[in-house]
Amino acid sequence: MNETDRLSAATRSLTGASAFAFGLLGMVLFAAPTWSAERFSWNVSPFVTMTIGGWCLGTAVMGWIAVRDWKWGNVYPILLYLWAFAALELGVLVWFRDALRLDVALAWPYVGALLLGLVAAIFGLADLVRLRPSLREGSVFPPWARVLLVIFIVFVGFLAIVAASKSGGAPEQSVFPEPLSAFTVRAFGAFYLSLAIGAVPLIWARSMRPALAYMWAGLALIVPITAAALVHLDRFDFGAHPRQALYLGAYGVTTVIILLVGLWARGGARMTSRE
């Protein structure tokens, strides 16, 4: 039996290439949302464009974290997210191919980044079958942390199901403060489902290490997405539509939980090192 704790160098290179592509695209979408909205793959507002840019930037950072460490037992939830994100978002493009615009400046950079991610996923899945990388044990995964994990999975999974079940665009009184096309709603749903897919295997994890890696990496998504919302804060009307507070609140609460769990883990690590 081949003993290894890493996937192949080819998968690592492809993951790095897709992260680089997502990073470049994300910077354009995030920094120039109005210009990008007019040249994106489908009809979107500057707010949505900047939010998708946040997804891309966060995905790029997560890819970089995975490539830097590259021990399967530490980064497998991150890699599962990356693979799912590329495959599911490409699936959304196929689903709405009639509304897809490929004759605009940012169409092929977006499609190309997703295709690179999909190729990395195919190589990675082949590595899993061929190499069977080990999952090493580490710090204990406390029950309360698993409860928080399950709550997170149920929450983002619910968002994905709601997005997939909508027959049309989101209403103006929805949690997101702008009306969304069915195309955009499905793209949001694919993003949330990818997060859930990355987190599900952690329910059975024997170590806290990959969960911590996934949480810290998740901040790379939360920060730019929240920043996009704050830049477009004038789109929100919390008085008339109080549910819109859930959009910012969910990211804020998640950030606080990640920081508290991270501080707890670091405190435990310091106590262990003194013993």
For the stretch 62-89, pLDDT in tens is 999 999 999 999 999 999 999 999 999 9
* Pairwise CA distance, residues 222 & 55, whole Å: 9
Q: Which residue has the higher pLDDT, 268 or 188?
A: 188
144: number of Cβ within 10 Å: 10
Q: What is the pTM of this model?
A: 0.92
Q: Is 104 helix (H, G, I), strand (E, B) or coil?
A: coil
Label residue 4 by pLDDT band (50, 70, 90).
Answer: confident
213: number of Cβ within 10 Å: 21
Q: Which residue has the higher pLDDT, 3 or 134?
A: 134
pLDDT of residue 110: 97
pLDDT of residue 171: 45
Label residue 99 by pLDDT band (50, 70, 90).
Answer: very high
pLDDT of residue 191: 96
- For 174-223, the pLDDT digits (tens) are 678 888 899 999 999 999 999 999 999 999 988 899 999 999 999 999 99
- For 211-255, the pLDDT digits (tens) are 999 999 999 999 999 999 999 999 998 888 888 898 899 899 999
Residue 69, class by beta-carbon neighbours within 10 Å (0-12 exposed, 13-18 middle, 19+ buried)? middle
CB 160, CB 151: distance < 8 Å: no
CB 201, CB 75: distance < 8 Å: no
Take residue 264 and report the two structure tokens written for it. 């707890």
228: number of Cβ within 10 Å: 22
Q: Which residue has the higher pLDDT, 32 or 250?
A: 32
CB 110, CB 172: distance < 8 Å: no
Residue 175, class by beta-carbon neighbours within 10 Å (0-12 exposed, 13-18 middle, 19+ buried)? middle
pLDDT of residue 263: 87
pLDDT of residue 270: 47
Q: Give yes or no for residue 274 having a pLDDT over 60.
A: no
CB 174, CB 180: distance < 8 Å: yes
